[in-house]
Structure 1
Amino acid sequence: MDAGLEAVFDRVRQEVAVRADRLWDTALALHRDPEPAYEEHQAAALLTAELAREGFRIGRGTAGLPTAFAASTGSGAGPRVALLMEYDALPGLGHACGHNLIAAAGLGAALALRAALGDFQGSLLAVGTPAEERGGGKVTLVEAGVFDGVDAALMVHPGVHSWSWAPLTASVQVQVGFHGRAAHPTGSPTEGIDALGSLIQLFNSLGVVHRRLPPGSHVQGVITDGGRATNIVPAYAEGLFGLRGATTTALEALAGELQRCAEGTAAATGAAVAVERVGRRYEHFRDNPVLSARFAGHLARAGIHLTEPEAGVYLGSSDIGNVSTRLPTIHPFLAIMDAADGSDHTPAFAAAAASQRGRRVMLAAAEALACTAAEVLLRRAVSARAWAALREKAAADP
């Protein structure tokens, strides 16, 4: 490592330390006032105020999303790095996924790196990404071109494991509605076409399909409309199905299975069926091993050591997948509580997101994110290797 880059790393650590209390105050402020998807107005205002205070150019309402933002600094000519911040909360559970720590870590990395670099050739972006839990804000940002021309997207996520990358599946929700014909179940049973019976048959068929799905693929459904009275054959029934696949290709294969099962059920029962996707598709996460290795090395200086994920374990889905399939991206998990004590999306995890361990992890992550971003901005070879790794993964894992 050249002496100039090491000096930047030293300055990053100093700049994070200077801002440590401010960053923690930001994390706690977000924790105290949790806002759900697309309603994160206070969070966006707080984060952009901190960025503007230190000289970032602020763009609000990015991609038409009122609570999204894109702040930038640098000359604009040269490499571009995006530090991503999530800040939406879970209804009823607050920051039980630790997004307050994600936001504070990304903020700290952005502020520290700008101060450490001074004038530099390139661009540093701090991107506020709303609605990860429900809605897929990053999908909208990707489609709007926010990440076009960006060489690396960097973020971290609190968890109960310290893993160098996130085994996140592709996912989509599908609504299936069966249209039958109402009738009296005793007086004129032959006149009815039981929409609810059709939906139940679809559940049974999917249960058979589920047994032969590949690892990482999964389908889970709920009945959202099953009729209104027991003395009427239901004329309409509706189910909502969550589909997951280890890859986006596997997800689309599963969606095709669902479509065929629904159409086959309708043909067998005489009902009509409508199959529609609900919300945005989350693509699977494609880790960039070049950048993940650089991040892990920097994080180790703080005494946090990352391992590979456990084989065959998947931890849900996230809209970061839609970023990762387009440009070099990292999304490591950093433990703020132990797996033996529970999991995320629980009150215990919400408490951990405001704990002293959470503070230590957030500050260490801010340093490691900033140092990784500095390598992409200042060492062209790192970016070149990262893009090569992404192309290799895309070829092997379409």
Structure 2
Amino acid sequence: MPLSDAQATALAAVDARMPELSDWCATIFDFGETAWREYRSAEWYVARLRAEGFAVEEGSGGMPTAFCAEWSNGAGPVIGMYAEYDGIPGNCQAAAPRRAPRRGLGFQAGGHTDPHSGLGIGALGGLLATKAAMQAHGIAGGLRFTGEPAEKVRGSKPIHAAKGYYDGLAAMLSFHPFYMLPMCNTVRWDTHCGAAYSMVYRFICDAPESWGHGDGAPIPQSHSAIRAPGASEALMSMFQMSKTLRDSMLPHQGGWSISEAILTAGQATADNQPAGLAEVQYMLRTPTVEMAEQVTAALDRNAGAVAAMTGCRWERHWVCKSRPGLANHAMAALVWDAMQAAGAPQWGDAAVQVAREVQAALGLAPMEAPFIAEMSRLIDPQEAEAILRRDLPPSQANSTSDDYTDMSWHAPLARFYIARPALRPAGAPYPNWVMNALGGIPATIDPMVRSAARVLSLAALRLLQDKPARDAARAEFEARTGGGVGGDRWMAPLCDYAPPIHFRWPEYVETPRGRDWCIPSDMADA
């Protein structure tokens, strides 16, 4: 399909702003903030969006590092896009072709792995290019851009969905960097991501002296007296029992998993004092909500058993309950048209030189063509779907998880992927720092940012200008939900909890030495 004048204007706007987008991407990468603690990143986006003429609600949905930005060019359809900007603890990497933490930090600090730094700036580039074209060509309608913290724990989107931030949109465009075939430079067709539940189990040992004693027993005076094992023992038992649970549930079939992270352990500072508090977080990625409920029930039983054994009480606090995704072929086809017009990212001489430097730093012979060839090719969505289905049971409708799925129940949505830089195999797998570094070095990450911005602006303008295409997407959404939001086949938000912002999530701290991670930088490599 030939480009409209507005779409041509948008592509020119992306190219004109690429130097800025490159600098902005490097800024967010260098912040390297993690779930629920993305203070600088959110502050940066809010200031940037306001400077670009958007009205911005800070702390949207009760989440301090979330936001919702709106801009209107008159009455008309509103298109949604969003930024993510959280990283992962233990992945601090400089934007350099060798293993090195960012300046002043240790390797255990936060860093971008997907990278969400490029995701957010690619989306922002598409948003601003769309706005520029709408102004230049008098296109009526609006843009909504949400800031989505804590994606790595599936945090914000179920909350935003439950609080109505995606309601009223004509369409939602969902972009993510990717490198795993076949979902690379393509659009999801039928098999969208599944459900995800995440929770924190908290063990509290309130009265360790009473464990093992009858009512009215005196407080033990001897260090050898029976005392409760305490919260640390409860956590360790929960950790081990739930790993056994995995083996009983065939987690390697169908692309689902259980993973865990210890948030709080210990607290005692002297011998013979049982720990009073311990917390462990679980993440369940399942094809269906029913499966997530079954696993949760098993984890609850484990928590109750270990609490009784160790003299504790237990609590379960929700971090996330997200729905499986809803397909929309009309939206997928529209975005696929945009991808074909925009083209796959291409890595030039500067990127190739960086990749060769990385290989040399690893003691490998630098390759003439170091990047995976598929990174610069498009793959038809239905072809990618057929490849994806080879490893899935016919009855399984969803696979893996990602919280964009919550958006799909509130507006017609397309989920598409643009390749991030990845190196051709060279025997043993590359260490993790390689992907992290390539996601921060401008020469290697900018092609992805540019391609994403191009696709987003082309698709958004098509939706704004092509009423039949927009109506087709809406009709399919209403058919799949049995009448749209609230319809007979519509799945309501599962979020029935407050934003889980008060847990001991890993974060940066201010010390006499300056900004540091919660694990001091001078201990990170000890």
State the TM-score, normalized to the length of structure 1: 0.79
Question: 1:79 corresponds to which letter in structure 2?
Answer: P
Query: Displacement, 1:397?
Result: 9.8
> Could you tell me which of 281, 284, 291 is aligned with 2:321?
281
> Aligned to 1:83, which of 73, 81, 84?
81
SS of 1:338's partner is: coil
Q: Conserved in 2, the CA contact under 8 Å of 1:84 and 1:106? A: yes
Query: 1:382 and 2:469 equivalent?
Result: yes
**2: CA distance, partners of 1:344 / 1:56:** 42
- Does residue 151 of the first structure (1) align with residue 170 of the second (2)? yes
Task: Find out whether 1:330 has 2:414 as its counterpart.
Answer: yes
TM-score (norm 2): 0.62
Distance 1:201 1:105 in 2: 41
Corresponding letter in the other structure for 2:179 = V
Q: Tell me the amino acid that sits aligned with residue 257 of structure 1.
A: A
Structure 1, residues 258-288: CA drift from partner, whole Å, max 9, x if none?
3345557778x69776351342324334443
1:369 pairs with 2:473: no
**Structure 2 gaps, min length 5:** 90-108, 214-219, 345-377, 393-397, 483-488, 492-526
Partner of 2:152: helix, strand, or coil? Answer: coil
The one-letter code sitting in structure 2 at the alignment partner of 1:295 is V
- Say whether the 8 Å CA contact 1:74–1:120 is kept in structure 2: no
Residues 309-324 of structure 1 aligned to structure 2 (within 5 Å): 310-311=388-389, 312=391, 317-324=401-408
What is the aligned-residue identity percentage?
23
Pairing partner for 2:30 from 32, 55, 67 = 32
Give the counterpart letter for 1:351 in structure 2: A
Structure 1 letter corresponding to 2:198: V
Letter in 2 for 1:137: S
Instruction: Report the 3-state secondary structure (helix = DSSP H, G, I; strand = E; otherwise coil) of the residue aligned with 1:332.
Output: strand
1:128 aligned partner: 147
C-alpha distance in 2 between matches for 1:283 and 1:47: 27
**What is the aligned counterpart of 1:172 among 192, 198, 203?**
198
Residue pairs, 1:31-70, within 5 angstroms: 31-70=29-68
Secondary structure of the equivalent of 1:156?
strand
Deviation of 1:375 (Å): 2.2
CA-to-aligned-CA distance 1:305-360 (integer Å, 9 cap, x gap): 14347344898644323222332233323221337569999322221223434211
Q: Which amino acid counterpart does residue 23 of structure 1 have in structure 2?
A: L
Select which of 98, 101, 106 maps to 2:118: 101
Q: Please give the secondary structure, in 2, of the residue aligned with 1:19.
A: helix
Match of 2:338 among 294, 298, 301: 298
User: Greater CA deviation, 139-148 or 48-57?
Assistant: 48-57
Kept in 1, the 8 Å contact 2:134–2:140? The answer is: no
Alpha-carbon distance, 1:152 to partner: 1.8
Which SS does the other structure have where 2:28 is aligned?
Answer: helix
**How far apart, CA to CA, are the structure 1 residues paired with 2:9 and 2:32?**
33
CA contact (8 A) 2:266 2:275 kept: no
Three-state SS of the structure 2 residue aligned to 1:372 is helix
1:250 maps to a residue whose letter is M
Aligned to 2:97: none
Post-superposition shift, 1:239?
6.4
Alpha-carbon spacing, 1:359–1:287, altered in 2? closer, same or farther (3 Å): farther
Whether the aligned pair in 2 keeps the contact of 1:182 and 1:233 (CA below 8 Å) is: no
Q: How many residues align?
A: 394
CA RMSD of aligned residues (A): 4.1
Q: What does residue 240 of structure 1 align with?
A: 280
- Change in Cα spacing, 1:274 to 1:93, as seen in structure 2 (3 Å) is closer
Q: In structure 2, how many angstroms separate the alpha carbons of the residues matched to 1:94 and 1:336?
A: 16
Give the letter aligned to residue 215 of structure 1. G
CA separation of 1:104 and 1:121: change in aligned 2, threshold 3 A: same
- Match in the other structure for 2:131: 114
TM-superposed CA distance for 1:75, in Å, is 4.0
Please state which structure has a larger fraction of its residues in helix: 1
Q: Which amino acid aligns with 1:290?
A: A
Say which of 297, 301, 312 aligns to 1:256: 297
Q: Report 1:191-206 matches (<5 A).
A: 196=233, 200=237, 203-204=240-241
Q: In the alignment, what sits opposite 2:437?
A: 351
2:174–2:404 Cα contact (<8 Å) kept: no
In the alignment, the residues of structure 2 paired with residue 270 and residue 360 of structure 1 have an alpha-carbon distance, to the nearest angstrom, of: 54
Stretches of structure 1 lacking an aligned partner (at least 5 in a row): none
Given residue 24 of structure 1, which amino acid in structure 2 is its aligned partner? S
The alignment partner of 2:35 has SS state of coil
Q: Could you tell me how far 1:365 is from its partner in structure 2? A: 1.0
Conservation of the 8 A alpha-carbon contact between 2:79 and 2:144: yes
Contact kept in structure 2, 1:135 and 1:280, CA below 8 Å:
yes
Shift of 1:55: 3.3
Alignment partners' CA distance in 1, 2:276 and 2:415 = 42
